[in-house]
Amino acid sequence: MSEGFVVSDDESGQGTSLAAWNASTRLRGLPVITADLLVPTNCRAVIIAPHPDDEVLACGGLMSQLAQLERNLLLISVTDGTASHPGSTLWPVERLCEARPKESAEALNRLGMPAERL
């Protein structure tokens, strides 16, 4: 690969340097896509995540911008997240089942996304 990008099976965590990302002419050539352009007025965003909290980790910045634009959002979690701690006495399935939705609601609240927009 050109422009200093590192492609390796090395798991040392080296990766591509910030300088290489900043120097990339390919990235500079990409158009800027704003949240307003991505989700126009009277439209809604649909975000699909493997399990609760992944939507915030992957799209938190976008969701915050959508909240500021007062766009509606449909979140789909493929699982309920209760299999994340198999055999745990601290996080049994019942506790996870109760905690996961509350954690997502709190994260969305902190991002400024009101429940009525979901």
pLDDT tens across 1-51, in order?
455 555 555 566 788 889 999 999 999 899 999 999 999 999 999 999 998
Q: Are 49 and 108 in contact (CB under 8 A)?
A: no
Q: Are 3 and 20 in contact (CB under 8 A)?
A: yes
How far apart are the C-alpha atoms of 118 and 109, rounded to whole Å? 11
pTM reported for the whole predicted model: 0.72
Instruction: Give the 3-state secondary structure percentages of the chain, helix then strand then coil, rounded to 5.
Output: 40, 10, 45
Helix (H, G, I), strand (E, B) or coil at 35: helix
How far apart are the C-alpha atoms of 40 and 24, rounded to whole Å? 29
